A and B are shown apart, each in its own frame.
Chain A
């Protein structure tokens, strides 16, 4: 197991980082997504923040844009142009692919931006987020993306990434694993394995996220909003805010779905993953570990939506609002 390099790049830029749950043995199949456009300190750079891109139906593609010297870039929209580079390497002649207009997704808990949010701009380092668009890749291999934006002058930034033949992590349309995750009532479960913020002396901070198992919710044919993250051992910034945001949704939409948080680590120091987390994010021995992840599972047990790395309340709330109130 090994962490993705994506978060590291972005941490260094103090712009954006993913919650690489860490400890993965191998750079993920999405490892190529760790590419970044440049390491020059005063150039606009882009880093693919998606964890698990695959050929097939459109899915969410997220890109962090930043300048190490000037800060992260956010707000407005940014046009993306994709190009195919080759099946086995990124050295081929670029072949034009899809285009998309990406909107900005701020990290949950980011302060409201005081300035003009209609156009991309440099942000204080306390703000961060990604640009997101739904994109369909028609074949696996190495792809590139060019983002065009105006930051007091036209800027073009490109980076490359890998697209798999099929998703490595449960995706939209897949049957959700009937996971027997730890809960606050699981006999003998160490509090820190239920939520890494908890300990023998610190209670689990969001008990509403640890009341039931995915298996139980599926058996009851309840929709589930599932977050897998490690708020303490996150190597970057997104795990805690995303988990807190899901906890907020759990309070506001308790009658629409079951809300469940699965902690990544059974024992971080010993590098032991929770079995439940393995079923979702480490399904093969050599798979990389990335997080946070959020899934919406329908009452039929099929995954309706999937979000990697950065997800905002504004993306999840409409999906919850569409669910009918649950019968007692």
Chain B
């Protein structure tokens, strides 16, 4: 029994509204997405994905900056995406979380792995995040070549 109904518990993620923005494929992209019982702006999801790319770009030269970018911009949002994905495809949610875990293990290791390895793991996470968001019809550009 739930007190407030403004949050739909356990709701499978679904596109709520198709709007003006266009994805890279030229198809209309949703402005907001229903994700794990929440209405999330597409732009926010795209920013989460972009943050992983930014961290990957920073990692070879400055792992600290990459860490700050990852945790400050993307980490929480990836959890949200995973939660939404879990309702659609539990195996895909597992892949996203496992890939994220690899990045976290890199950042938490002492000593940390070489920057290029962190960058490679972040790039892999960016790809998995992109694939995950595609399940919600959210289009994200691949990370630019470094």
Interface segment out of the listed A8-16, A145-153, A177-185, A298-306: A8-16
The residue that A235 contacts in the complex, of B3, B75, B83, B91, with Cβ under 8 A, is B83
Whether A22 and B3, one on each chain, are in contact in the complex, defined by CB atoms closer than 8 angstroms, is no
Whether B65 sits at the interface, judged by CB under 8 Å, is no
Interface residues on A, range: 35 or more
Whether A327 sits at the interface, judged by CB under 8 Å, is no
Interface segment out of the listed A32-40, A55-63, A112-120: A32-40
Interchain CA distance A143-B86 in the complex, whole Å: 31
Residues of A within 8 A of B98 (CB): 232
Residues of B within 8 A of A295 (CB): none
Interchain CA distance A196-B100 in the complex, whole Å: 13
Q: In this complex, which of A14, A197, A231, A234 has the most chain B Cβ atoms within 10 angstroms of its Cβ?
A: A14
Contact with A along B17-48 (1 / 0, CB 8 A): 00000000000000000001110100000000
Residues of A within 8 A of B6 (CB): 36, 39
SS class, residues of chain A in contact with chain B = loop
Residues of B within 8 A of A23 (CB): 86
Whether A5 sits at the interface, judged by CB under 8 Å, is yes
Whether B77 sits at the interface, judged by CB under 8 Å, is yes
Contact with B along A294-319 (1 / 0, CB 8 A): 00000000000000000000000000
Interchain CA distance A205-B102 in the complex, whole Å: 12
Whether A3 and B94, one on each chain, are in contact in the complex, defined by CB atoms closer than 8 angstroms, is no
Residues of A within 8 A of B76 (CB): 11, 14, 17, 125, 236-237
Whether A31 and B101, one on each chain, are in contact in the complex, defined by CB atoms closer than 8 angstroms, is no
Interchain CA distance A159-B18 in the complex, whole Å: 32
Whether A31 and B72, one on each chain, are in contact in the complex, defined by CB atoms closer than 8 angstroms, is no
Residues of A within 8 A of B108 (CB): 244
Residues of B within 8 A of A90 (CB): 3
Whether A34 and B75, one on each chain, are in contact in the complex, defined by CB atoms closer than 8 angstroms, is no
The residue that B83 contacts in the complex, of A3, A27, A269, with Cβ under 8 A, is A3
Whether A162 sits at the interface, judged by CB under 8 Å, is yes
Min CB gap B136→A, angstroms: 14
Interchain CA distance A7-B7 in the complex, whole Å: 12
Whether B10 and A27, one on each chain, are in contact in the complex, defined by CB atoms closer than 8 angstroms, is yes
Interchain CA distance A2-B2 in the complex, whole Å: 13
Residues of B within 8 A of A325 (CB): none
Q: Select from chain B the residue with minimum beta-carbon distance to A29.
A: B1
Interchain CA distance A240-B37 in the complex, whole Å: 24
Whether A124 sits at the interface, judged by CB under 8 Å, is yes
Residues of B within 8 A of A31 (CB): 1-2, 9
Whether A8 and B7, one on each chain, are in contact in the complex, defined by CB atoms closer than 8 angstroms, is yes
Residues of A within 8 A of B97 (CB): 232-234
Whether A155 sits at the interface, judged by CB under 8 Å, is no
Residues of A within 8 A of B38 (CB): 8-9, 12
Min CB gap A317→B, angstroms: 21
Whether B79 and A236, one on each chain, are in contact in the complex, defined by CB atoms closer than 8 angstroms, is yes
Whether B1 and A235, one on each chain, are in contact in the complex, defined by CB atoms closer than 8 angstroms, is no
Residues of A within 8 A of B91 (CB): 269
Residues of A within 8 A of B2 (CB): 5, 27, 31-32, 34-35
Q: A23-B86, A142-B3 are in contact. List 12 more A-B contacts (CB 8 A).
A: A3-B10, A7-B83, A8-B36, A11-B77, A11-B80, A17-B79, A125-B72, A126-B71, A160-B3, A196-B101, A235-B86, A269-B94
**Lowest 9 A-B CB distances belong to which pairs?**
A32-B3, A35-B4, A11-B80, A232-B101, A235-B83, A35-B3, A5-B9, A12-B38, A8-B36
Question: Which residues of B does A touch, CB under 8 Å?
Answer: 1-4, 6-7, 9-10, 36-38, 40, 68, 71-72, 75-77, 79-80, 82-83, 86, 90-91, 94, 97-98, 101, 104-105, 108
Question: Which residues of A does B touch, CB under 8 Å?
Answer: 2-3, 5, 7-9, 11-12, 14, 17, 20, 22-23, 27, 31-32, 34-36, 39, 90, 124-126, 142, 160-162, 196-197, 205, 231-237, 240, 244, 268-269, 271
> 7 interchain pairs (CB within 8 A)?
A2-B9, A2-B10, A8-B7, A22-B86, A31-B2, A244-B108, A268-B94
